[in-house]
Amino acid sequence: MNGKPGTTDPFEGLFEDASARALSRVGVVDVGSNSVRMVIFDGAARSPAYFYNEKVMAGLGRDLATTGRLNPDGVRRAFAALTRFAALADAMKVRPMTVVATAAMRDSLDGPEFCARVEAETGLRINVVDGEDEARLSAQGVLLGWPDARGLVCDIGGNSMEMAVLDGAGGIGARASAQLGPFRLQQIAGGDEGRRDYARKVMRDLAEIVGTDHEVVYLVGGSWRAIARLDMTRRAYPMPVLHEYRMTPTDVTETVKWLREADLSALRARSGMSSARMDLVPLASIVLRQLVETFGPRQLAVSSFGIREGLLYDHMSASLRARDPLLESARFTEKKMARMPGFGKKLFQFLTPLFEGAPPERERLIRAACLLHDTSWRTHPDYRAQACFDNVTRANMAALSHPERVFLGVALLHRYKNSRDGSPLAPLFAMLAPEDLQAAEILGKAMRFGAMFSIKDPTEAGELKLSPKRKRLELRLTPTGTALFGEVALSRFQSLCKAMGIEGVVKS
């Protein structure tokens, strides 16, 4: 199940050709110190969808620091999970199936025995990676989500912590691994003070290797995501999407203090977190607080992508890595869900005169919105506008900040609805500056007009010409467009002009 039979490279065959790269399903299992997770990726390779995702909190690495061996109950639970994952992969006909293991397996005396048993009884071959390679794979997972990421990747597991430097151009610099994680801290004597001293020393050693001049730290790992989820709860943050969630050092300090004083069982029930994960939060908080103190970043960004996504990135060609994950995802979604795949590109071309001079970061959002404008058409009309907003703000898309999600959401909302007054989504609208909110509304109303003006190709029906100085938008109709330009089209064109605060003129 791991690459081609008889090869020594466990990852060979993940992307054998262009067609497989585009649409094939790929399975990855990550055997960590705390959890064992299987992910089946599907769809556009540069921005894959999560076709299947299952996790078991096995706790293989619990007590490893004192016994040197895998936790017996963890072995039982992990083996049961891997047996199930193998059966699921066979049922879904997923090939290849790549299995990697990290700190618990590489540091335990009985790790090789466990790996041999799993392969003999399930057919899954576990590939144990060393600390530096784990750091590389985690960094590549971050690059899948942020192609231009610059800063320090910090991946926390149950027993170890990996760090890697990203240079902002897709390159990975210094890497380091250390025995620092919640399970490891459990074995440190001296209570919380002793744990803080241990974490401080380890962080200083890591800083000697990776440096401290990093404005952004990218947080990878379940313990970090758990703390981020609790930070959202404390701040009453309106968007429940962890990927690209940002915290400042002050946020971390306040949340760590808040957690020390909080009823964790009540918080667990409120956040929906598992008890196994919540039990590790106080220990992980000690590490995060020390991370902030040692490295002094300006921001900490949560990444939902890590070693599993890094395995995919590892075998992408340079040309595939260079593609925009957002646009790849939008194209794939249009192909699968729109009534007329390919119309989004034509709509963008028709609307381009409205957005000449837009910076690249705004233009990509406009392109994505045009590709996605018709992908919720099956939703009930009464809910369609909100569904568009929900779909894009909660979607598992990469290379998309939270404000950018809201911009796309507002644009798609207005593709179906003129007004957003009284909307229950108002707290999310507040994440945009007033001028960005207006720009999103204009884009939405432009799509609302262009999408119904011609169902084949609006550029064949007419041409838009914007004169900013004269505050005038002119629509020049072709003979085809003259027949198409009815009462509803006129109403939507006028609504667009009103949103822009300009005069609208129609010429045949």
Q: What is the pLDDT of residues 281-304, one digit of tens each?
A: 999 999 999 999 999 999 999 999
Please state the rounded mean pLDDT for residues 371-379.
95
> pLDDT tier at 5 (50, 70, 90 boundaries)?
very low
Q: Where are the beta strands (DSSP E) in 282-429?
A: 299-303
In this structure, the number of other CB atoms found within 10 A of the CB of residue 360 comes to 7
β-strands 472-477, 462-467 pairing: antiparallel
> pLDDT tier at 19 (50, 70, 90 boundaries)?
very low
Please state the rounded mean pLDDT for residues 301-326.
89
Strand, coil or helix: what is 438? helix
Q: Which tens digits make up the pLDDT trace of 250-292?
A: 999 999 999 999 998 888 888 888 888 899 999 999 999 999 9
- What is the reported pLDDT for 468? 93
Lowest mean pLDDT among 7-21, 351-365, 380-394: 7-21
Residue 413 to residue 318: CA distance in whole angstroms: 36
> pLDDT tier at 6 (50, 70, 90 boundaries)?
very low
- Chain Cα centroid distance, residue 325: 10
- What is the reported pLDDT for 313? 87
- 8 Å CB contact between 201 and 258: no
Query: Backbone phi, then psi, for 179, in 5-degree steps?
Result: -85, 80
Given a cut of 60, whether residue 54 has pLDDT beyond it is yes
DSSP H helices in 211-322: 222-235, 249-261, 264-271, 275-295, 307-314, 318-321
DSSP-derived secondary structure letter, 124: P
Given a cut of 90, whether residue 55 has pLDDT beyond it is yes
> pLDDT tier at 20 (50, 70, 90 boundaries)?
very low
Mean pLDDT of the chain: 92
DSSP-derived secondary structure letter, 306: -
**How many residues would you count in the chain?**
508
DSSP-derived secondary structure letter, 309: H
DSSP H helices in 298-417: 307-314, 318-321, 325-337, 343-351, 360-372, 384-394, 402-416
> pLDDT tier at 9 (50, 70, 90 boundaries)?
very low
- What is the reported pLDDT for 48? 76
Q: Which tens digits make up the pLDDT trace of 424-479?
A: 999 999 999 999 999 999 999 999 999 999 989 999 999 999 999 999 999 999 99
> pLDDT tier at 108 (50, 70, 90 boundaries)?
very high
Q: Which tens digits make up the pLDDT trace of 229-240?
A: 999 999 999 999
- What is the reported pLDDT for 44? 54
> pLDDT tier at 18 (50, 70, 90 boundaries)?
low
